[in-house]
A and B are shown apart, each in its own frame.
Chain A
């Protein structure tokens, strides 16, 4: 499994765009990049997944450079309800892959 490195915490004001970067220098050819969101006392929830370039859904965008050694989760116009821990995972496409989480980034949105 490729190891991931994220900032431990980030603060942002409401209405701002937040970018959380994850480093995964040892990413393998078959690895996808997946981001999860976790609120206190809840299980993580899938946000977005990508392999290369840019992926966008109704919640976030994921930017992946050509070398795929890092990725950036972008949350547009955050609100207080976006305060959570965000995890970056890198893993193989196969369903046999164990799903291992790193320490995550604690995002605090400030009014």
Chain B
């Protein structure tokens, strides 16, 4: 069966510090991968999505970047965090070429202080 791992679960980082969130998927190949952010009490904002290794599409210009160094690994990064980067970050995968549902990780609660 397929599983998605996302870590860490919670993170407190000072303003100006770097960020690296990692997401890995098991049990499938060539998935579409997604990073979302959810501010408190708000909906999900799509940040990045990837249809293959090294292929990243950015939805919102911001202080963040994403990379996909391996087929089932998706990394969200920042060189210098801002207070506005605080939020709940979710990674998701979806089987390519189908209309199947997206599967989400458990999320990372990031607080920038």
Q: Which residues of A contact B (CB under 8 A)?
A: 32, 34, 36, 38, 41-46, 49, 85, 87, 91-96, 98-104
Number of A-B contacts (CB under 8 A): 69
- Distance of A103 from chain B, by nearest CB (Å): 4
Could you tell me if A43 and B104 are in contact, using CB atoms closer than 8 angstroms?
A: yes
Interface residues of B in 73-113 (CB under 8 A from A): 88, 90, 92, 94-107, 109
- Distance of A50 from chain B, by nearest CB (Å): 11
Which residues of the other chain, A, contact B53 by a CB distance below 8 angstroms? none
Which of chain B's residues has its CB closest to A51's CB? Answer: B99
Which residues of the other chain, B, contact A100 by a CB distance below 8 angstroms? 46
A-side binding surface: helix, strand, loop or mixed? loop
- A38 vs B104: C-alpha distance in the bound complex, in angstroms? 10
Which of chain B's residues has its CB closest to A100's CB? Answer: B46
B88 touches which one: A41, A92, A99 (CB < 8 A)? A41
Could you tell me if A95 and B46 are in contact, using CB atoms closer than 8 angstroms?
A: no
- A95 vs B49: C-alpha distance in the bound complex, in angstroms? 12
Q: Mark B45-71, 1 if CB is under 8 A from A, else 0.
A: 010010100000101000000000000
Which residues of the other chain, B, contact A36 by a CB distance below 8 angstroms? 101-102
Known: A98-B49, A98-B57. A103 touches B43 (CB 8 A): yes
Which residues of the other chain, B, contact A104 by a CB distance below 8 angstroms? 43
B92 touches which one: A34, A41, A43 (CB < 8 A)? A43
Q: A46-B102, A95-B98, A100-B46 are in contact. List 9 more A-B contacts (CB 8 A).
A: A38-B44, A49-B99, A49-B101, A85-B43, A94-B99, A95-B95, A96-B97, A98-B34, A99-B92
By size class, the interface of chain B is 20 to 34
Q: Which residues of B contact A (CB under 8 A)?
A: 32, 34, 36, 42-44, 46, 49, 51, 57, 59, 88, 90, 92, 94-107, 109
Which of A32, A43, A103 counts the most B-chain CB atoms under 10 A from its CB?
A43
Could you tell me if B43 and A95 are in contact, using CB atoms closer than 8 angstroms?
A: no
Could you tell me if A43 and B106 are in contact, using CB atoms closer than 8 angstroms?
A: yes
A98 touches which one: B59, B103, B104 (CB < 8 A)? B59
